[in-house]
Structure 1
């Protein structure tokens, strides 16, 4: 089964577990009902932006729809030769390397590439989410659109990801490792 079909099945399962109609999920994610229907049917390749909109509306980390705990990860040509499920956005290619579920948070580790001169505008993620980028190559500008942080090779940047934020490669392609930490909701 192709990755977009697996993602579609997981999206539908998550939506149904939450007893949400397609219309309600469309409203919450600010995506079209037809778009969601095509995603669930595996007929559309989702962008990184679309996946974040849907997973945030469902209240789950991105890796929840990219991985299937019962199946091995498919190999994908990715930044730095990394393999794993991936998603492309306006400026960023992200390959999931690891997902760690702790008692207090879910942490995802991605190998990322930010295309030269491109800007990725990311919507707010789940409340309390924090991102960390360790830059391997290039210079990245990340964080809040108005006052982001710049980090070069061997440097690290940290920012709140529960508000809109950006990824930018103003001076050439950027390669890095991205950690996203989603706190678990109190039960």
Structure 2
């Protein structure tokens, strides 16, 4: 299918925060109450329209467990957007954003202007919330991230999260030009495609 831009979006965060559930909700509008952890990296595709532009998203779902860190580090390469996900009912997943995941991005990301989107997942569990929305907003401001709270279960803000991220990438000249150039490279005969070793399991929501 023809497209104008090709973007690489990476999902990072602790195991069990719902990275896979968010992606499944976004790509197929479904939700599974019980799902197995991602092993290594999973990979999904989604085509979206932004104005008159057709954008092909390659969505990389990384495992949150520490034992997979060396395996997933190479997948930061070339990502124009990175979604940092935490669970609003588990404070450690929020704390680890700065203690672990921002450090990983700084170490491995190859795009200086890469757009970061902070997502507080499991908004449907409001009665169990331990991380306030204000904490999320403040964190996003300190670290230059877009921010939304969402629920993969109820689908609240899931599409909006990716819509805003894609729009911001398109509005960033260096990244927008890069996605068009990448499209040309991938359509060129004989160009090597990235072929991730994937697993079809999903992180528990």
TM-score (norm 1): 0.29
Indicate the structure with greater helix content: 2
Instruction: Say which structure, 1 or 2, has more relative contact order (CA 8 Å, 6+ apart).
Output: 2
Indicate the structure with greater strand content: 1
